[in-house]
Amino acid sequence: MEEVKQHKRRGKLPKIEVVDLFCGIGGLSYGMKSKGFHVLEGFDVDATCRFAYETNNDAKFVDKDIRKVSKEDISPLYSKKSIKVLAGCAPCQPFSSYAFKNKNKDEKKYSLLDEFGRLVKEIQPDIVTMENVPAIASFKLRSVLADFVKVLREENYHVRYQVVYCPDYGIPQTRKRLVLLASRLGEIELIPPTHNKENYVTVRDTIESLPPLKAGEGCPTDALHRCRALSPLNMQRMLATPYGGSWKDWPEELLLDCHKKEGGKSFGSVYGRMVWDEPAPTMTTLCTGIGNGRFGHPEQNRAISAREAALIQTFPTTYQFFPDEQSVSLSKASRYIGNAVPPRLGEIIAESIKQHIRTTIA
């Protein structure tokens, strides 16, 4: 702590070093790196994420299950005079709405946040941040979040968590995420919202300038700006979907059988078109298919491209997802993009940590 205070007295922040658990392709790491943090390593069990993570974050990717990660893997990475940050986004699928209904639950998946807590106890980082779906706070099978918070408080961390509406922080999609910050240095919280309804970043702001595409086409100057082909029937459905509309606007002969059932009426946004002057819907791992949500282009008769999805997730056009983007499937690109933490949210978390350090180190 005294070494950290010396940096403060010299009028500058100490070096802030990050290890990212469940790092995926590196959205969180990239956002923190963009704010001057030193990202050391990322850990994930999906080895196919290595190229994107290492290429864009100048940090090593470690293909290792968190259950097998120990203090010896992480503690030596930090330098002595740094602020040590342990970050992570445990896979959210176990805490989704589906998990509440699924009778064949994999109990091992719920232990991932416990393993995060174990590493916090072993490593004793200065600051911990965790991002997940809001439903984790009300998960009915067991008090997963409460158990994690209890571990942090027992280890003398000040803990604050809240549900973030992403448009409030300049992210052009209606994603909601639970963000937790914990610090051994003192009270910590997210910075106030940077945007409001008057200046939300919209679909128009984000993708309108991209070259137009037809269904199944790709842009010759941007390998990631390509979209799925549509069957003749789905093209009829696309043509029958008005601006901002969905399958509810179709004539009877175009409806799917599931939409004619009472339960199908709740999926109002499926096969829907986005609206130009509003944020986009939440990007998912299936965001380049029109049948998976309101992922239709506002005007063009197609689903959004992988590039458009990446921009809505706030990845810059310079972000490299694959060594050869010409030959990569849209399914894989969609999975990477949909699973990622928006880099802009990583920036907000990083800025919150920097402000916390400035105000708590006397």
- Indicate left, alpha or beta for 154 from its phi (over 0: left) and psi (-120 to 50: alpha): alpha
Which residue in 100, 102, 86 sits closest to 20, CA to CA? 86
Distance CA 125, CA 82 (A): 10
For residues 355 and 290, give the distance between their C-alpha atoms in angstroms, rounded to a whole number: 41
d(CA 279, CA 271): 17
For residue 113, give both structure tokens: 């946040």
Say if CB 342 and CB 284 are below 8 A apart. no
- By annotation, the residues acting in catalysis are 92
- DSSP states of 7-44 as a string? HHHTTSPPPEEEEEET-TTSHHHHHHHHTT-EEEEEEE
> How many angstroms separate the CA atoms of 280 and 232, rounded?
26
If we measure between CA atoms, which residue out of 197, 202, 358, 175 comes closest to residue 279?
202
Half-sphere exposure of 125 (CA within 13 A, CB side): 29
CA 42 to chain centre: 15
